[in-house]
Structure 1
Amino acid sequence: MTLSLHRHRSLALAASALAAVALATTACGSSDDGAATAASSSSGADSGAVKGGGGTLRVALIGTTGPVAAAKNDGSLAKDLAKVGAKVQFTGQFPAFAPAAEAINAGALDAAQGSISSGVGALAQKPSFKIYAAQLDNAASEGILVKDPNIKSVADLQGKKVAVNPKGTGEYLLLKALEKDGVDPSKVERVYLGAADGATAFSSGKVDAWAAWGDFVATAKSKGARLLADGEQVGSENDTTYSIATKFLEEHPATVKAFYENLRRHSIAEHDDPEGAVAKENQGAIKLDDAAAKILAENYRTQNPIAPIDDNFRERFGHVADFFAKQGVIKANLDPASFTVDPTTLGS
């Protein structure tokens, strides 16, 4: 893919992200899902209730499951934020972190989750958010998916087309796999596609492989795909991260802390009761089928709960940033300390 096409896709992602936000804002107002009753800026709520509280937290829904989906479906996030004088507005469905980051950059969104790799890619373009929490990489839920029985090793990807989301999890996993197996990246064609388009290209056979994660892996495996190499095999440090717009963090730190505490509780529930967590989460307009939901529950059983940012995470962040810089995905390395914050210290 040429550079001009890559830029065109980035603009398209930004447009689709903002369209999703606008559509969700128009539709918001339901008290059932804890959404704010009207669109408002991040400083538009009763900020005097608790020092550092208040605000209307605009949260992206990414994928169909996860702690954010659970917090929306059971109404607990709206209740927890109300205790600090804040409101929540779920802004609509995003296929991955990249378009959500574009919406944060545009001032249309406050919070989203994604991988370290996608966070590094977005921060390298515009540092408009900070990472406040993370889950250690769940190696079984990510990797290089294939269907062709003749592709038996990473080396067999030479001369093949692999769908990856640019500057995100897909590109990271593919490059890690190629490095681990000593394959020249120029020998494998990277097809830059967003997550939803990658799924379509893979299922229709327009690409030979797909570097994917989470719900996408569960769904593809339920339809007969297999992981040629998972996160552990490629040496992934691609932790799941939770990001907050810097402006919102500065204005409403106690609200961010309450948000973190809610998500952590839901992530602990995923680990302790995977089937129950999946049942609570898998209620959106786009649902996983039973086979995919079962695979996701198995992944949850081995997944670490959300934890505050610490030195271990910052070290792993640095490794991913170093790798992307070395591979030429980003122009220069990033200092983890500049883009992270410990949520347990907020609002005090």
Structure 2
Amino acid sequence: MYRVGDLDTLKGIPGVDWVAVRATKPGRPSPLRAFAQLAPQRTAVVRAFNDELRETCGLPVWARFANLDNHWLIDWEPGPDGSPSRDDVAALLADNPAASRFADGIQLLSAQGKAIHWARQMLQPGAAVVLDTETHALWGRLMEVAVVDAATGEVLLESLANPQIPVTEDAFDVHPISDAMVADAPTWDEVPPELLRVTAGRKMLAYNAEYDKTVIVGDCLRVEADPQHLRAKGQWGVHHAPALRLVGRARLPAAGRRAPCPWRYVRRAGDAHPRIGPGVSAGAYAGEGQRLNRRRTTREAGIRSPGRRSPR
């Protein structure tokens, strides 16, 4: 049995010798075979669309099949300006006659791809800063704050603060900033104006955003300073270190030698610099001597770590 619509379509095919078709004996090839072809398979269509996207954008594009979900995942590395976006590629998919037939079985951007695109957005000039704090105790008063430009690695703010209360042993074991080191430092009421200036209009990325936001806003309220955008939850985010490093590979020299990418620098024990991932200290970018001098000063003063780590 055949659908009437299919028969009507068949009759409309030009160039068919219907006399020969009707004369074909059972078991013999029909002249209609010349007009028949297999429908394209989804795998071939997805790969062809990948090739088209790669050629159009000139960027790395890759795809994998999610067997359990029965769909294809297509990822691509965005260019320096963050394009093409997901909407841009969705438009290309919709305009592709072959690929659009399988659009329901194609997912643009996997979880890893979304992290890469997020990182590229955060690396746009003026888009974000990476921030870190050190406190006198867990959830305590601030003793140091540092802010680094996420795109360039420039240190925008690095300031000690006198909490006007002795540092606890557990907190000292983490940073280690002693009471003597902050004795002549400004109290927190002097720090917010500059902190507000360097973070204005930017996303603030932190290793533990909820902690840093809470202690900063808490100290601002304690000294009766207006936290302004520092209290806005939408202005804060947890950084994705692996994604930042992955996108950073695009800026490495052609020879393949690893260049000093600012967003790869991180805080090690003894530094109060924004944490961007495990590896090198931000002090290497902002001045390695500061870290060495701090440890030397602490050691010469006879101050010893109690050997316990804080949950912070």
Higher helix proportion (structure 1 or 2): 1
Compare relative contact order (CA 8 Å, sep 6+) and give the higher one, 1 or 2: 1
TM-score w.r.t. the length of structure 1 is 0.21
TM-score w.r.t. the length of structure 2 is 0.23
